[in-house]
Amino acid sequence: MESKSCPFVPNFLLGCAGGIQYLSLKRASKNPRKAQEKTLREILTYARDTEYGKEHHFAEILEAKTDTELYARYQKYVQLNDYEDLRPYVEKHKHGASNILFPGKPVLYATTSGTTKEPKWVPITKEYLHNIYGKMTKVWLFNFIKNRPEVFTGKIVSIVGKVKEGEAPDGTMFGSVSGVTQRDCPGFVKKLYASPASVFSIEDYTARYYTLMRMGIERNITLVVTANPSTIVEMQNNVNEYYDDYCTDIEHGTLNAKLNIPQWIREDIQPYLKPNPERAAELRALKAQYGTVQPKHYWPNMQILNTWKCGNTAVYLDKINGSFPEQMLHQEFGYFASECRFGLVLDDTVNTVLFPHFHYYEFVAEEELESENKHFLQLHELQAGKRYCPYVTTFAGLYRYNMNDLLEVGPSFCNTPTVHMIQKVNGIVTMTGEKLHERQFIEAVHAAEEKSGMMTKFFVGFADMEKSAYHFYYEFADQSTTQEQAENFTRLVDEELKQMNIEYDAKRASFRVKDPITHRLVEQSFEKFKAQCIAEGARDGQFKMNLLMQDEKRHAKFKQLVVE
């Protein structure tokens, strides 16, 4: 294995750059009430003369004398938004217009799944990029050093998306926020990556995982970063299947010719590949000794694994439990979405430290989510242990934006509450980041009905974290429908979902979400399900249910209603 490199340069430079921003974060966090008023005023001043700012009376809001009056005016003039409310403004930006949601135009768009067939195009401004993916990324890297001083003695495996996936009509690029974060990280950190960014342009996921791991397993890896722990599971599956091929490639300095990799990417990777018979021999010896070779064997010096640990990730964490070195810190990735990087986790807990000096946050308590008269709480009003749905205002054109997430409040960081993710809310299900909407599932079933001529009387879907797959249940109008016909129907639903939801398509392509599982329901299945729920105490007048869920109790009831 490669020898350790001296971490002095990255530690010193990140200690300076990241340390300065860390102190700025601490100062803002000491008085969140003051910091939040200042931040909201700065955002409204920044966007006051834009189309959105004029329509929503930003200048008048800014005339408020106190923070209480400021928040009251903001709530009065600016409605709650989801992406569809903002889409018309974003479309104007996409077609070349300036000063719509914010001054000027976006420097790029991050794309992610939406509630409709059209993906969300999340605008990223120069201001936002500089602060959140510049200054705060330096804090993130500085935090690694604070927790594990030897984290940069080896190489880094960082799994990100493509920096550029295409262009908007006006030529502005759209792509992956994670890819941009890696692209813009300090040069001395970039030199530590085990593979070039071109690897993430490999469309075939088997080939992509192979290339990442063939290059990574050869090296002394001390830091692995990927939001989804399911990616770690799939990478190890690739190791288990292709380990001998890695050894052959490493021995000869090659990259498997059978893999579906474009020639330009092979040429870009080639400088990283040199014959290394010594490392190949080490890896073969590990297999002879252990049989199944795990990260603790091939990366014994790993210092930090950075992934999500909250929400629905427990099942994936169980699958990698015990497979990494004991001294390694498995650090929570933090509450982070394409729309907004809310903050950073700075220790060995799951609690995200928020950015009160860069975002303005509002919260609604869990018990009020269905209320028509919601009470909006300020950051300093949150209570430890309680759960809330966050709304965010940013320097990138999001105003009172509903994140549709349920967060739980943890201990304070310098008087500012921390948070961690519990689950999605409002008809959104996600096992590994696909964010599948109930509306999309309903539309996909109806599209499959139209294409196949097979009609349903009732249908419902459940996420199965253990299998990393969705179970689709149908009560067909024709009860003589065979299992084979039902499975063909599911294939149509699956294809529709891939077309509607880019995140679902990506997770299916990368094997993180497996093939959906098909079940046929008996006649009057919904009526029988409802009767059972009412018999157990549910109120008839208030009975309601989603058609796409992650709910084991309800799932168990439908398992009893399957055609034998």
The residue count of the chain comes to 564
Residues 6+ apart with CB under 8 A from 205: 234, 509, 510, 511
Is residue 94 within 8 A of residue 169, CB to CB? The reply is yes
Which pLDDT score is estimated for 451?
97
Residue scoring higher pLDDT (529 or 314): 529
DSSP 193: B
Per residue, what are the HEC states of 9-72? HHHHHHHHHHHHHHHHHHHHHHCHHHHHHHHHHHHHHHCCCCHHHHHCCHHHHCCCCCHHHHHH
Average pLDDT rounded to a whole number, residues 54-72 = 98
**Which is nearest to 473 in space by CA: 522, 538, 432, 520?**
520
CA dihedral 498→504→508→511, nearest 10 degrees, is 170
Over the stretch 117-153, which tens digit does the pLDDT of each residue have? 788 999 999 999 999 988 998 999 999 999 999 999 9
pLDDT digit string (tens) for 370-408? 888 999 999 999 999 999 999 999 999 999 999 999 999
Quote the DSSP letter at residue 540. Answer: G
Q: Which pLDDT band holds residue 179 (cuts at 50, 70, 90)?
A: confident
Q: What is the mean pLDDT of residues 160-176?
A: 91
Pick from 421, 357, 360: nearest CA to 392: 360
> Residue 185 has what DSSP assignment?
S
Q: Tell me if 84 sits within 8 A of 407, measured CB to CB.
A: no
Residue 14 has pLDDT above 90, yes or no: no
pLDDT band at residue 79 under the 50/70/90 scheme = very high
**Region of 400 on the Ramachandran plot (φ > 0 left; ψ -120 to 50 alpha; else beta):** left
| 3-class state of residue 339 by DSSP | coil
Position 211: which residue type? T
How does DSSP assign 75-88, residue by residue? Answer: HHHS--B-HHHHHH
Positive or negative torsion for Cα 61, 67, 69, 72: positive
pTM: 0.84
Pull the structure tokens for residue 387: 């759960």
Q: What is the pLDDT of residue 542?
A: 45
Could you tell me the CA-to-CA distances from 526 to 5, 523, 560, 561 in Å, in that order? 63, 8, 12, 9
Closest CA relative to residue 377, chosen from 413, 348, 407, 345: 407
Whether 514 shows a pLDDT value over 60: the answer reads yes
- Please give the Cα distance from 328 to 18 (Å, whole number): 22
Rounded-to-integer distance, Cα 221 and Cα 324, Å: 12
Burial class (CB in 10 A: 0-12, 13-18, 19+), 24: middle
Rounded average pLDDT over 449-465: 95
Note whether 64 and 45 are within 8 A (CB). no
Bridge partner list, 363:
377, 390
Tell me the C-alpha distance between 397 and 417, whole Å.
Answer: 24
Give the residue-averaged pLDDT of 17-44.
Answer: 96
**Nearest partner of 282 among 217, 227, 225, judged by Cα:** 217
In one letter, which amino acid is 42? E
Confidence at 201, pLDDT banded by 50, 70, 90: very high
pLDDT of res. 181: 79
Quote the CA–CA distance of 246 and 215 in Å, as a whole number: 9
d(CA 210, CA 256): 9
Q: How many CA atoms lie within 13 A of 406 on its CB side?
A: 19
pLDDT bin (cut points 50, 70, 90) of residue 281 is: very high
Average pLDDT score, the chain: 92
- Other beta carbons within 10 angstroms of residue 226's beta carbon come to 20
